[in-house]
Structure 1
Amino acid sequence: MADLTPIPLPVLVNRMFRELAAKKSAFHLPRFKFAKAAAGRDMSTSIFGRRAATPFGPAAGPHTQLAQNIVLSWLAGGRVIELKTVQVLDHLEIARPCIDMETVGFNIEWSQELSLEQSLTEYVKAAMLIEMAKAEGLAPGLEDTVIDMSVGYDLAGIRTDKVRAFIAGMKDAGAVIDRLRRQIPDAYARFRDLAYPTCISDSVTVSTFHGCPPGEIEAIAAHLMAEEGLDVVIKLNPTLLGKADLNALLHDRLGYTDLVVPDATFEKDAKWQDVRAIVSRLGDLADRIGRGFGVKFSNTLLVHNHKPFFPAGTGEMYLSGPPLHVLAIELVGRFRAEFGDRLPISFSAGIDVGNFADTVALGLKPVSVCTDLLKGAGYGKGADYVADLADRMAEVEATDLDTYALKAFGLAGAALDDLEMPAGRKAALAAAIETGEDLRAAAGSDFGPWVSAARLRNTLHYAARVRDDRRYSRPEVDHPPRRTGVPLSLLDCETCGKCVNVCPNDAIFRYPLPQQPVVAATLRPGADVAVGEAQPVTRAQQIGIFADACNRCGNCDVTCPETGGPFARKANLFGSPASLDDAPDRDGIAIEKTATGLRLHVRDEGRRLTIDDDGARLACKGDGFDLSIDPAAPETACGVAGRPLDVGRLILIARIARAVTAPTIVTYANTAFD
């Protein structure tokens, strides 16, 4: 398993603000792709009384585990950040690869990959970096942000001292902030005295694992509200539709006959009648104790693994993406038929730029995304969601999301039929629609009930529409990402940058490498250096991996046109010798700055060595060799060698280290030196 090593706050601060100054980007997201406010359009929503400047955000998952992921989500417009789910078992072995976005979306990851202490620190670091971004004016008009915890997976674990300490730290992070504040580099000392909010989050989305008993779900939510003082959302499973109705949609209407939900899942998961009773009781409890309560649709859908992508023996996987959208919207419709607009509904299932604004019109909040951000432009899509919502609001002349809900599908008039009010009053409001009056002003105290009625109408309308929308159906021919069949190598791939965009951890980067040939030279014990034909470097830009932030999820491999996986074939750079040593199954380089140049700690083909580069010669030491090399004249390499040594390879490693730490680019490697 590839373990994540959190990047220290000083490195993140240096990286973010140096890159903004030098490249007009942050963590590879161009500044022109930062989300922007729209004049005259208030896209804000209320999450349990807290204002979020947009209803968009990343779902709990790969985009909300590390500090840089969370900041990227925020820069892209996410103002409701649902953090990666944490649990008491915080040293898990998750099989790799774990994310398959070849067609729709499948994964086998389900929990955090950091310890609870590390997760708390990451989330606090992210919140502090967001405050720094606000102070620099990176999101004028879109500052308000809500951060939401996610915990699982059973009551016993949530009640442990470890999890309760995590929750307490999220509610009052003052001690962590004080510790981190002192780490802010001198160049950015202006951020040390910012008034960082000490409450990172006091709301939680409960992630209950597939098969969690209904009574356990209720007990967890009640404990978190009553004992921890949190506002609570419970995430519900698509199996609430029941086997017959789910398969009628998934197989008969959408055509995904190859996706089979195990019968045991339907048997173990909560049933609709269970959830009806649970929600009623928890809603009443929330009212009594003054807490917020809501539901989320939906969790992923557990299906049999019928593909060869995941490691051998992986019997089940979790479906996300377009087909899940239809299933989850169907559940929203059923829930609203039962509970009306009384309880807030959070939504995450197959969201993309084509349906985000429609889903917002249903009054769902937040509308969060995971699968779509793992494809194409990655985080860069976020600004498109926000911009498209603003455009849709402008089209119907809506200045806020409530008015947008009334106007989005043209159902404001029909919604009046669902309200108990005098006929004359309904006629006056219908006239206000026709004449383009301010509907909020015209409706007065009736505005809230009218909006609720419109949300219900919109939900039924939209659910019927997506059931028949062919873009959610299985295509006759799948169109996976393009593959050339060319084996990926250390240097000179297509350098298309697709892997850079889809990496949720910002672990993949481009770097310039001088196009001088790669020397072919071998030193044999007791013999001179044998020099062969040099290999050309054909690309000015190369691809590297910052290994500390790479968990080998496999998403870059799915996207890459060539075969072999960037995470495995490209140069892996570690943040420290310690993190290199902690990954004995991965070749790579950890770079340190010395008084005379660079010291490289290297694992190459499983063998550990060091290279000291003073700019003129390389001093290379390892098991059975101690060598001095002039990169300009490799044939003069000399020293002790107990086995044949690839001198050209050592020179190339040193060249890569020089390239990724050059002052002309910004990487985690060189910002760590500041």
Structure 2
Amino acid sequence: MSDLFPVPFATLVDRMIRELAVKKAVYDLRRWNFFQADPAVDLSLDIHGRRAATPFGPAAGPHTQLAPNIVLAWLAGARVIELKTVQVIDDLDIARPCIDMGGGAVGWNIEWSQELGLVQSLEEYVKAAMLIEIARAEGLAPGLDATVFDMSVGYDLAGIRSPAVRAFLDGMKDARAIVEKLRAEIPDAHARLRDLAFPTALASSVTLSTFHGCPPQEIEAIAAHLMTEVGLDVVVKLNPTLLGKTDLEAILHDRLGFTDVEVPPETFETDATWAEVTGIVERLGALAERAGRRFGVKFTNTLLVRNVRDFFPAGTPVAYLSGRPLHVLAIELVRRFRDQFGDRFPVSFSAGIDAENFADAVALGLKPVSVCSDLLIGNGYAKGADYLAALVARMKGLGADDLEVFALKAFGAADEALAGLDLAPERAAACRAALAGGDPRAAAGAAFGAWVSAALILNSRRHADRVLDDPRYRRDATVVPIESSGATLGLLDCEMCGHCVTVCPNAAVFRFDLPPEAIPLDRLVSGRYAVHIERVGELAVARRQQIGIFADLCNACGNCTVACPEIGAPHEVKPVFFGGRAAWDGQPNRDGLLIERIPEGLRILGRTAGDAVTVERRDDGSLRYAGEGFDLTFPSIDGLLDASGSTIGPVDLGRMRQMLALTDAVTAPKSLNWVSVALS
């Protein structure tokens, strides 16, 4: 079952608007990390007949299963949102930890599907679309309005035909009922937003996630069903094993040096072959034309490998490889696909994209170019703006004002591409002249599309050759583990590097301020004639800024663990805060605090190693502290000796003091985080 507990829509809206006003940020992403349009270049492109303002998006994965994730990617410039894969089995029990980016630009994972139920997933995606519309209304994306949502489903025909999956697909096509439900949940303080024209037709395309081992005939049958029975444009995501065992290992082992990465031999026997896929593509392309739909392919799925790492739970036999080595494999497949089919079918791409190769991938005409692994390291979501800024700079340097002209110029293949067209000499001469500073589109006229298509094929060949020879993709340059400080991670006062904050795909890790002072660790002891306080020690707070974990959005994926330079897991060691009873009751084995409003003030529930206590801070200044064997009331925090109530044995007051200090910190008037907004 999922450890995720989606944030209520009212809280999402309230935090967005308040945080914009107070911190010039949304969900802790600062406004300077939002991508800004450059009027000198047009980054828009066609995605299955719908316009998207940029070619960038998060890949279907950990960044696209919750509404705030999707909004963060959008703010950083993503305009093609590949939603996380859903399937009929929507109560998966995924082992934890499940994401390991400890290799730097190489990743391994053991998670593959949406962790929420189908009904929850649908509502999260509707929330995301509505929040994006609110962000647009607040002026956060001038000139970058057009956004495309692309669904992802798996893994067999029976499941996709099920009523539950069909209801999900239909809901994405027509979300009016959910939109109206959520519209009514917008807080009164932001009632003006209720009148926005929120989108209701969220998606008209779907990417079929062909899981490793999915039979070729099943792939074809699912795609045909989605096009003809459900009425969707379809992209089939293909596996890197299409290269075949010999060629894949020649690239992975011999060229790149990943000799320690082994693909189980049986994978090549169960995955579709190149010959099988080319037949599928031809038939589905013809079917799409007859049905009035669009069909394309995606390169690639992750690579199934034997698990030789000790990061994942014991007994994990296989893992899925991503990152830079996958980029080389996937680009080789793009080359072969283009050599086979030319530019007849649109190709989307997700494999080892980063700021250095994003523009190259766009120049291949890949659409969208989506990212996962690189967003799990470094600056996380903020990298989106970096990808697009690099693309804009490259386009301006070449004098290209749109993506098609950029494709002509990016790899210097325009002249060779032109030679393959049957153009009159004077028209060809005009095209060549336009490359130097004119308008290639006007010069080529009706032949412009064919010219670009020819260039895309040549670009694919040239880029494939380059990445095979580029040393940055080799193992010795790619696997760079994070350097450990050797220190043990503690509850408070870590190095505050912030890596855990930026790499969390769910935005569950946050900063908060805690006054740097000593918190007394004492206990209340009943003496022979009176009670007294016995000092045990103190919890020194050296740094004002601290790290907290919002349990509702933390699924213990483990990515913060590998990003942390200290020894320990932030999601286990740092203060954990629950946003509501659902998360508190749903994760009974997780330590942390739940802060609730009660008529008398605040109630704080604390859990440590299964031992639960309650602290009530009342508006009159009094405190109630209760747990196993005690139930005490104090007139104030300074009147602990005047306790009244029942007690057996010493009572740990230090625990109460820590709970109160942490509560004061995350609910302070100027504090804006998931906990404080949920309480307001």
The TM tier, using the shorter chain, reads over 0.9
- Per-residue deviation, 1:522: 2.0
2:97 corresponds in structure 1 to: 97
1:600-641 CA distance string (max 9 Å, x none) = 122222122221012633211222210235434555555422
1:518 corresponds in structure 2 to: 519
- Going from structure 1 to structure 2, the CA distance change for 1:605 and 1:448 (only over 3 Å counts) comes to same
In 2, the alpha carbon distance for the partners of 1:466 and 1:479 equals: 19
Matched, 1:673 2:679: yes
Matched, 1:598 2:602: yes
Q: Check the 8 A contact 1:77/1:382 in 2, yes or no.
A: yes
In 1, the alpha carbon distance for the partners of 2:37 and 2:200 equals: 26
In 2, the alpha carbon distance for the partners of 1:433 and 1:66 equals: 44
2:615 corresponds in structure 1 to: 611
- Going from structure 1 to structure 2, the CA distance change for 1:655 and 1:410 (only over 3 Å counts) comes to same
Matched, 1:20 2:23: no
SS at match of 1:386: helix
SS at match of 1:63: coil
Q: Which deviates more, 491-500 or 89-98?
A: 491-500
Q: Which deviates more, 444-453 or 625-634?
A: 625-634
Count, aligned residues: 673
After superposition, residues 382-531 of structure 1 pair within 5 angstroms as 382-434=384-436, 436-475=437-476, 478-524=479-525, 528-531=532-535
In 2, the alpha carbon distance for the partners of 1:438 and 1:182 equals: 50
Give the counterpart of 2:584 among 580, 583, 586. 580
Q: Check the 8 A contact 2:472/2:478 in 1, yes or no.
A: no
Q: Check the 8 A contact 2:16/2:26 in 1, yes or no.
A: yes
2:666 corresponds in structure 1 to: 660
1:218-251 CA distance string (max 9 Å, x none) = 0000000000000000000000000000000000
Q: Which deviates more, 437-446 or 520-529?
A: 520-529
- Going from structure 1 to structure 2, the CA distance change for 1:268 and 1:497 (only over 3 Å counts) comes to same
Amino-acid identity (%): 60
Q: TM-score, normalised by structure 1?
A: 0.98
Q: Check the 8 A contact 1:521/1:634 in 2, yes or no.
A: no
In 2, the alpha carbon distance for the partners of 1:92 and 1:634 equals: 48
Q: Which deviates more, 409-418 or 60-69?
A: 409-418
- Per-residue deviation, 1:577: 2.4
After superposition, residues 227-306 of structure 1 pair within 5 angstroms as 227-306=229-308
In 1, the alpha carbon distance for the partners of 2:480 and 2:326 equals: 19
Unaligned runs of 5+ in 1: none
2:373 corresponds in structure 1 to: 371
In 1, the alpha carbon distance for the partners of 2:189 and 2:442 equals: 51
In 1, the alpha carbon distance for the partners of 2:182 and 2:479 equals: 48
SS at match of 1:389: helix
In 1, the alpha carbon distance for the partners of 2:491 and 2:2 equals: 19
1:35 corresponds in structure 2 to: 35
- Per-residue deviation, 1:478: 4.1
2:75 corresponds in structure 1 to: 75
In 2, the alpha carbon distance for the partners of 1:246 and 1:439 equals: 38
SS at match of 2:538: coil
- Name the amino acid aligned to 1:16: M
- Going from structure 1 to structure 2, the CA distance change for 1:563 and 1:76 (only over 3 Å counts) comes to same
Matched, 1:183 2:223: no
In 1, the alpha carbon distance for the partners of 2:478 and 2:364 equals: 32
Give the counterpart of 2:128 among 126, 145, 159. 126
- Going from structure 1 to structure 2, the CA distance change for 1:604 and 1:618 (only over 3 Å counts) comes to farther
In 2, the alpha carbon distance for the partners of 1:302 and 1:47 equals: 29
SS at match of 1:62: coil
Q: Check the 8 A contact 1:521/1:635 in 2, yes or no.
A: no
- Going from structure 1 to structure 2, the CA distance change for 1:655 and 1:175 (only over 3 Å counts) comes to same
After superposition, residues 562-573 of structure 1 pair within 5 angstroms as 562-573=566-577
In 2, the alpha carbon distance for the partners of 1:607 and 1:88 equals: 37
In 2, the alpha carbon distance for the partners of 1:477 and 1:73 equals: 25
1:574-608 CA distance string (max 9 Å, x none) = 11123201111101111112333211122222122
1:88-117 CA distance string (max 9 Å, x none) = 000000000000001110100000110000
Q: Check the 8 A contact 2:2/2:116 in 1, yes or no.
A: no
In 1, the alpha carbon distance for the partners of 2:257 and 2:641 equals: 64
In 2, the alpha carbon distance for the partners of 1:649 and 1:637 equals: 16
In 2, the alpha carbon distance for the partners of 1:657 and 1:672 equals: 13
In 2, the alpha carbon distance for the partners of 1:63 and 1:283 equals: 30
In 1, the alpha carbon distance for the partners of 2:511 and 2:396 equals: 39
In 2, the alpha carbon distance for the partners of 1:177 and 1:113 equals: 22
SS at match of 1:531: strand
- Going from structure 1 to structure 2, the CA distance change for 1:113 and 1:643 (only over 3 Å counts) comes to farther
In 2, the alpha carbon distance for the partners of 1:508 and 1:476 equals: 30
In 2, the alpha carbon distance for the partners of 1:645 and 1:392 equals: 66
SS at match of 2:519: coil
Q: Check the 8 A contact 1:514/1:540 in 2, yes or no.
A: yes
In 2, the alpha carbon distance for the partners of 1:635 and 1:530 equals: 11
1:545 corresponds in structure 2 to: 549
- Going from structure 1 to structure 2, the CA distance change for 1:664 and 1:51 (only over 3 Å counts) comes to same
In 2, the alpha carbon distance for the partners of 1:218 and 1:636 equals: 75
After superposition, residues 607-646 of structure 1 pair within 5 angstroms as 607-614=611-618, 616-629=621-634, 630-632=636-638, 634=640, 637=643, 639-646=645-652
In 2, the alpha carbon distance for the partners of 1:635 and 1:409 equals: 78
Q: Check the 8 A contact 1:211/1:268 in 2, yes or no.
A: yes
1:333-385 CA distance string (max 9 Å, x none) = 00000000000000000000000001100000000000000000000100011
Q: Check the 8 A contact 1:120/1:166 in 2, yes or no.
A: yes
After superposition, the CA RMSD in angstroms is 1.4
In 2, the alpha carbon distance for the partners of 1:537 and 1:632 equals: 20
- Going from structure 1 to structure 2, the CA distance change for 1:477 and 1:500 (only over 3 Å counts) comes to closer
Q: Which deviates more, 26-35 or 641-650?
A: 641-650
- Name the amino acid aligned to 2:273: K
- Name the amino acid aligned to 2:138: E
Q: TM-score, normalised by structure 2?
A: 0.97
In 1, the alpha carbon distance for the partners of 2:402 and 2:478 equals: 41
In 2, the alpha carbon distance for the partners of 1:155 and 1:2 equals: 24
Q: Which deviates more, 134-143 or 593-602?
A: 593-602
Q: Check the 8 A contact 1:524/1:641 in 2, yes or no.
A: no
In 1, the alpha carbon distance for the partners of 2:41 and 2:545 equals: 41
1:178-219 CA distance string (max 9 Å, x none) = 100000001111111111111011110000110000000000
1:557 corresponds in structure 2 to: 561
SS at match of 1:467: helix
- Name the amino acid aligned to 1:346: S
- Name the amino acid aligned to 1:11: T
- Going from structure 1 to structure 2, the CA distance change for 1:477 and 1:83 (only over 3 Å counts) comes to closer
- Going from structure 1 to structure 2, the CA distance change for 1:376 and 1:105 (only over 3 Å counts) comes to same
